[in-house]
């Protein structure tokens, strides 16, 4: 990787970190598509392995409540970890355009529906089966593409959590899925140690972006925070549809 390529990759990661700092999500959703333009999908996934773990671990620890949230979400967290780990063995081995199209439509339709139907939410009774089912789906999709975020963020959106709990829940799930991705990509030989070193270096630009984004987030009200989330959902959904059609 030459200096220019490395600089562009770092910029992509920084932008993703800034978006994540504001909205508590968006690092892989923003950085992976940008990185694929610079280094290709397989290398992009390998570069994002450590930044995904580090950034989400930081956010899940902020404000406390991580262990409480883990007790609430362990069926979802456990299944997404295992299936992300297994799914890395299919990395770029299957076409993604159908999944991208499905995710793109879901990211546009479902947030709008939930916005205009605030009484609709995931109940504890439904989550007995939907938590592990979503973990399996999000895990395999994430193992293939590192984009486990879209199904997880839609699912957590349906829980109707307050701002602080949303940040802890989504960061916790992303951190655990990122750990599965890391073990699958590096532990099972999908990528080499050179890329692991570059992934470690990418922790610096993502940390800077995360810090700047969080300066903005703390000033957002509950209503404004959910408006920002809606923008991230719709923009991400549109980007998936473009990729699916292209």
* Digit-coded pLDDT (tens) for 31-89: 887 888 888 777 887 888 888 888 888 888 876 788 899 999 999 999 999 988 887 77
pLDDT of residue 185: 73
Q: Using the predicted structure, report yes or no on whether residue 5 has a pLDDT greater than 80.
A: yes
Task: Name the DSSP letter for residue 188.
Answer: T
Q: Using the predicted structure, report yes or no on whether residue 93 has a pLDDT greater than 60.
A: no
Q: What is the 3-state secondary structure (H, E, C) of 77-144?
A: HHHHHHHHHHHHHHCCCCCCHHHHHHHHHHHHHHHHHHHHCCCCCCCHHHHHHHHHHHHHHHHHHHHH
pLDDT mean over 131-160: 82
Q: Which residue has the higher pLDDT, 75 or 105?
A: 75
Average model confidence (pLDDT) for the chain? Answer: 83
- For the full predicted model, state whether its pTM sits above 0.95: no
The domain segmentation of the chain, as residue ranges, is 3-245
Q: Using the predicted structure, report yes or no on whether residue 96 has a pLDDT greater than 70.
A: no
Using 50, 70 and 90 to split pLDDT, how confident is the model at 223? confident
Cα separation of 111 and 39, whole Å?
32
Q: Using the predicted structure, report yes or no on whether residue 91 has a pLDDT greater than 70.
A: no
């Amino acid at each position: 990787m030459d200096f220019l390529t490395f600089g562009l990759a770092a910029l992509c990661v920084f932008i993703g970190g800034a978006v994540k700092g504001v909205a508590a999500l968006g690092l892989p959703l923003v950085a992976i598509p940008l990185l694929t333009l610079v280094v290709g999908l397989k290398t992009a996934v390998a570069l994002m392995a450590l930044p995904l773990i580090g950034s989400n671990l930081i956010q899940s620890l902020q404000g406390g409540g991580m262990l409480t949230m883990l007790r609430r979400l362990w069926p979802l967290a456990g299944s997404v970890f295992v299936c992300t780990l297994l799914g890395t063995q299919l990395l770029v081995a299957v076409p993604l355009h159908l999944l991208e199209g499905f995710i793109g439509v879901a990211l546009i339709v479902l947030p709008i529906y939930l916005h205009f139907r605030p009484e609709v939410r995931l109940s504890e009774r439904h989550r007995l089966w939907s938590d592990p089912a979503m973990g399996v789906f999000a895990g395999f999709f994430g193992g293939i593409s590192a984009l486990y975020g879209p199904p997880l963020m839609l699912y957590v959106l349906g829980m109707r959590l307050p701002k602080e709990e949303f940040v802890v829940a989504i960061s916790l799930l992303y951190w655990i899925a990122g750990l599965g991705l890391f073990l699958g990509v590096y532990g099972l030989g999908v990528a080499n140690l050179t890329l692991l070193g570059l992934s470690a270096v990418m922790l610096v630009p993502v940390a800077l972006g995360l810090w700047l984004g969080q300066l903005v987030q703390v000033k957002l009200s509950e209503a404004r925070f959910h408006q920002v989330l809606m923008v991230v959902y719709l923009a991400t959904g549109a980007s998936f549809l473009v990729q699916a059609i292209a």
